[in-house]
Structure 1
Amino acid sequence: MKPNVIDEIVKNELCIGCGTCAGICPQKILKIQDNEYGEYIPSEIQVCDSHCGLCLEVCPFGNNENETQIGAKIYGSIEGMKYLPETGYYLDSYVGYSNEFRQRSASGGMATWLLTKLLKEDVVDYVICPTSQKNPEKLFSFEILSDKNYVKSSSGSVYYPVEMSEVIQKILETPGRYVITGLPCFIKALRLASQRNRKLRERIVFTIGLVCGQMKSKNYTKYIAALAGNKDLNKIQNVYYRGKSPEKPASNFYFQSTDEHGAQQKIFWNEGVSEAWVNRWFTPNACNYCDDVFAELADVTFMDAWLPEYSNDSRGTNLVLVRSPEIQVIIQKGIEELEITTSEIPVKKVKQSQSGVLELKRKQLSYRLYLAKQKGLKVPEKRVNPSKDIGLLKKREIKLKTLMQEESKQLFLNYCQNQFVEGETFRSRMNPFVRQTCQLRFLGKFTLLPMRTIKRICK
């Protein structure tokens, strides 16, 4: 009997909720549902009698091939391909924006431009991306789109759980050429599934990746909406995560929620959104064990240009890593036809733009793996080795944020009754942890303090 995804992944809190296992299950006995924390997980709707183990084989957090190994098979033999441990394989790197989609997109609009271009040029028949549902219980879900106008209306970042089980089943049922957008773990799951299913391998012709530091649960959106002033969750019809203001830098974007009457509530990143984000509130446990920053298995990866020379521009700018020769040709054509304002940029600048995420998913991951090993927890094998050599202050910060990650899930349940969120009360209960992290950052500026003093303060 082969192990399954429920016993090995879900019960060990390693599920990211991508839905691939349910989508590809031959017996269709897995169903994706959200748990009390607003995270998607699979459950068995009937007893599995085949024990084929396919569900575990396609799980991005199972002990299967890693991104380097899979990437070598997909991209390793392509002429001109380069490789770096941080980025994975890549042909070229670009910086720029779409002249048409820049303003309405989260950053430079390059991803939306490419998706619409693929449809317009008849390169693909369908685009699969997260789409607003105007449903308080499920604000976003993956949809299959064939009209470029619908793709345009779906532009923008989504920090809300979505899962792929239904769209995977539709791909298997309906012939066509598909392009799908996803986070690194989702793209990895699709690659694993495609290795085991010919229809997926032939029909998914392109994958579009997004750089990711962490995912968030549904409760994250509920909390931010409450902070913005929309405390009655039953009334929320739509949210927008990355609004732009001309008078503010690109990094200080705003979250906006709209209720059933069209009333809008807005809150900026610096007004409380960043506090929940950087301290890992409402982050699934699986995100603690991800080492893929640049969606290494995607044919092209898009990200924000978090570099000094671009980040103050409120309109937003994209960085792009290209791995597919076909996508590279389309980008070059877009530059020639003046549809995009884009130029090549050294890959070291791309790495620099995501230095914080690289620190999180490589150096800090090594200590999280060490802690998990010390506790006897089951975790996936990663390309990073467990290590405790990270520095006293950083150790304390990681432990604090892990504690906040866990506390935020449980505490939120106490302050979300009957779909009404007491956001400020929740925030005040989390405040002691936040103060401690601020103290650690302050101490980090005084690295010459005696170790004895630092240890005493960190207790």
Structure 2
Amino acid sequence: MKPNVINEIVKNDLCIGCGTCAGICPQKILKIQDNKYGEYIPSEIQECNSGCGLCLEVCPFSNRENETEIGTKIYGNIEGVNYLPETGYYLDSYVGYSNEFRQSSASGGMATWLLTKLLKEGIVDYIIGPTSQKNPEKLFSFEILSDENSVKMASGSVYYPVEMSEVIQRIQEVPGRYAITGLPCFIKALRLAAQKNKKLKERIVFTIGLVCGQMKSKNYTKYIAALAGNNDLSKIQNVYYRGKSPEKPASNFYFQSTDEHGSQKKIFWSEGVSEAWLNRWFTPNACNYCDDVFAEVADVTFMDAWLPEYSKDSRGTNLVLVRSPEVLTLIQEGIKKGEINDNKISVEKVIQSQAGVLELKRKHLSYRLYLAKLKGQKVPEKRENASKAIGILKKREINLKIKMQKESKQLFLECYQNHTLDIKTFRDGMHPYINHIRQLRLLGKFVLPIRLIKKISKVEGKKK
């Protein structure tokens, strides 16, 4: 019998919970459910007797084709296409925003503009994306939307697990043209599934990717909500992750929760959200082994313009990386009609905007692969090679974040009782790691000047 996704991926803690395996399983014996850490994983509702191995073939963390190989098949023969190792294939890149959707969106509103445009022009029949559910135990899920207002209501970044099993099954059952938004690993899974399933290949006509540094579990949202002052987390009906404040830069957005009585709690990125995010609290283990920053197999990728000349604008600005000629035409027409305020920007600036994520998913990945193999852990094959060739301070930081990633999940379970999180005990438990990180960064500020002085002295010595 062929290996399957349960014994190869789930048992090795490499599942990202995308749900593609359950959605495409011909026997429908896989079901996606929460694990104790608030992460989605598949389980068998009955024993698999076919041994087809299809579930493993569509898994984005299996050792099938990588993003470069998939991208070459899809975009490699397009006239005028370019390729860079950082971005994958691309036709053009833009910076700007949607005049209509900028204020109501997490960033510049360009993704919402494109999705509503696809519906309005009759190019697609359905849009698939994360939608609020007003359910404390399942705040968001992938839904199939067929009208512009529903798409508008669903706009905004979602840092919450969602899975695609039900919508993938629905696509196979209901004919039509679909566009779907997703993170890099989700889009990759769809591309792998489309190679195996004719209906998915014909019906998913556009894929819209989002730049991603990491995913988060359901417990991440509970933690941020508790940090914002929510005492009973079972009463939360709605959350918004990227609120904009006119007096603050776009990078200092706020998280807002609304309970069943309409009471709202708010907390800004700089008030503790960044601490949990940047130190990889509540991040699935699979995220440690992702090397795709720019959703390389999506027809178009949207991201925040994290560049000095744009990030201070509280209204938000998008960068757009286009791979599909059809999407490129829509954007060009949108500019001419004044629907969007976009200008061309060099791909080098696009890469610069995501420098931190690239370092995380390329340089840090190589060391994480080295550590995993040193411990005899099963990891997927990646385009980056395992290597320990990284500075000693950076090694310590990566090791600390791996420990925090694991500790945050376990400590949350110990501090969470009756829908209430003991926030003080949790933070007290995590702060020794935070203090160690701060010490490393402080040390780094002294080490760099010393290295520069030594380098200059060496050069000067050679001149003499």
TM-score (norm 1): 0.98
3-state secondary structure, aligned to 1:447: helix
Distance in 1 separating the partners of 2:423 and 2:149: 36
3-state secondary structure, aligned to 1:257: strand
Q: Give yes or no for the alignment of 1:173 onto 2:180.
A: no
CA drift at 1:97? 0.2
CA drift at 1:447? 1.7
Map of 2:329 onto structure 1: 329
Distance in 2 separating the partners of 1:167 and 1:179: 12
Q: Give yes or no for the alignment of 1:361 onto 2:361.
A: yes
Map of 2:271 onto structure 1: 271
CA drift at 1:449? 8.2
CA drift at 1:448? 5.4
Map of 2:103 onto structure 1: 103
CA drift at 1:444? 1.1
CA-based RMSD of the aligned residues comes to: 0.9
Distance in 2 separating the partners of 1:290 and 1:231: 35
Map of 1:71 onto structure 2: 71
**Aligned partner of 2:384: which letter?**
V
Distance in 2 separating the partners of 1:444 and 1:187: 37
CA drift at 1:441? 1.0
* Matched-pair contact (CA < 8 Å) for 1:145–1:151: yes
3-state secondary structure, aligned to 2:33: strand
Map of 1:51 onto structure 2: 51
**Aligned partner of 2:42: which letter?**
P
**Stretch deviating more after TM superposition (22-31 or 223-232):** 223-232
Map 1:337-352; keep pairs closer than 5 Å: 337-352=337-352
CA drift at 1:429? 1.2
Map of 1:7 onto structure 2: 7
3-state secondary structure, aligned to 1:333: helix
3-state secondary structure, aligned to 1:283: coil
* Matched-pair contact (CA < 8 Å) for 1:227–1:424: no
Percent identity over the alignment? 80
3-state secondary structure, aligned to 2:80: coil
Map 1:246-395; keep pairs closer than 5 Å: 246-395=246-395
Write the deviation string for residues 384-409 of structure 1: whole angstroms up to 9, x where unpaired.
00000001000000000000000000
Report runs of 4+ in structure 1 exceeding 4 Å deviation: 448-451
* Matched-pair contact (CA < 8 Å) for 1:231–1:422: no
Map of 1:216 onto structure 2: 216
**Aligned partner of 2:437: which letter?**
T
Distance in 1 separating the partners of 2:423 and 2:270: 16
* Matched-pair contact (CA < 8 Å) for 1:368–1:386: yes
Write the deviation string for residues 332-378 of structure 1: whole angstroms up to 9, x where unpaired.
01000100000000000000000000000000000000000100000
Write the deviation string for residues 31-80 of structure 1: whole angstroms up to 9, x where unpaired.
00001100000000001000100000000000000000000000000000
Map of 2:144 onto structure 1: 144
Q: Cα 1:387–1:260, aligned 2, differ >3 Å: closer, same or farther?
A: same
Q: Give yes or no for the alignment of 1:225 onto 2:225.
A: yes
CA drift at 1:418? 1.3
User: How many residues are matched?
Assistant: 451
Write the deviation string for residues 225-267 of structure 1: whole angstroms up to 9, x where unpaired.
0000112111000000000000000000000000000000000
* Matched-pair contact (CA < 8 Å) for 1:14–1:285: yes
**Aligned partner of 1:239: which letter?**
V
Distance in 2 separating the partners of 1:185 and 1:373: 22
**Aligned partner of 1:91: which letter?**
L
Q: Give yes or no for the alignment of 1:202 onto 2:202.
A: yes
Map of 1:135 onto structure 2: 135
Distance in 2 separating the partners of 1:443 and 1:117: 51
Map 1:186-201; keep pairs closer than 5 Å: 186-201=186-201
Structure 1: gaps of 5 or more residues: 452-459
**Aligned partner of 1:350: which letter?**
V
**Aligned partner of 1:337: which letter?**
K
Distance in 2 separating the partners of 1:325 and 1:212: 23
Q: Cα 1:214–1:340, aligned 2, differ >3 Å: closer, same or farther?
A: same
Distance in 2 separating the partners of 1:332 and 1:392: 47
Distance in 1 separating the partners of 2:109 and 2:164: 23
Distance in 2 separating the partners of 1:215 and 1:98: 26
CA drift at 1:114? 0.3
Map of 1:455 onto structure 2: none
**Aligned partner of 1:365: which letter?**
L
Distance in 1 separating the partners of 2:448 and 2:396: 18
**Aligned partner of 1:338: which letter?**
G
**Aligned partner of 1:5: which letter?**
V
Map of 1:457 onto structure 2: none
Structure 2: gaps of 5 or more residues: 452-464
3-state secondary structure, aligned to 1:357: helix
Distance in 1 separating the partners of 2:65 and 2:376: 23
Map of 2:114 onto structure 1: 114
